[in-house]
Amino acid sequence: MAFNAMWKPGRQAVAGMQGNGSANPALVIYLDPDSLAILSPSGPAEWPEFVRLLRQIRDSADQLAVFLDKHKAARDDGARRE
């Protein structure tokens, strides 16, 4: 099943872990006003695959941030020359 969604983060958008210390922690992205939660599997046997996915999300988010920073800087330089 494919799921695609696009949100424009509001001024209060943040991401973090919800339920620290609880039985069902989750990665939550508060998009202001919407939110997206990625819940951890309930069984510890499934955690290694979930941890792998979380690390891929982390690394991919960092790659995207670097890309956007780089292209924003290039765009800003071009706008100053005009």
- State whether 47 and 70 are in the same domain: yes
- State whether 21 and 3 are in the same domain: yes
Residue closest to 31 by CA, chosen among 10, 3, 58? 10
- State whether 80 and 46 are in the same domain: yes
Q: What is the pTM of this model?
A: 0.78
**Residues in Cβ contact with 46 at an 8 Å cutoff, skipping those fewer than 6 apart:** none
- State whether 52 and 73 are in the same domain: yes
- State whether 50 and 28 are in the same domain: no
Tokens 């995207």: give the residue.
64
pLDDT in tens, 6-58: 889 999 999 999 987 767 899 999 999 999 999 999 889 999 999 999 999 99
Number of domains in the chain: 2
Q: What are the start-end ranges of the E strands in the chain? A: 14-18, 26-30, 35-39
* Domain region containing 15: 1-40
- State whether 78 and 52 are in the same domain: yes
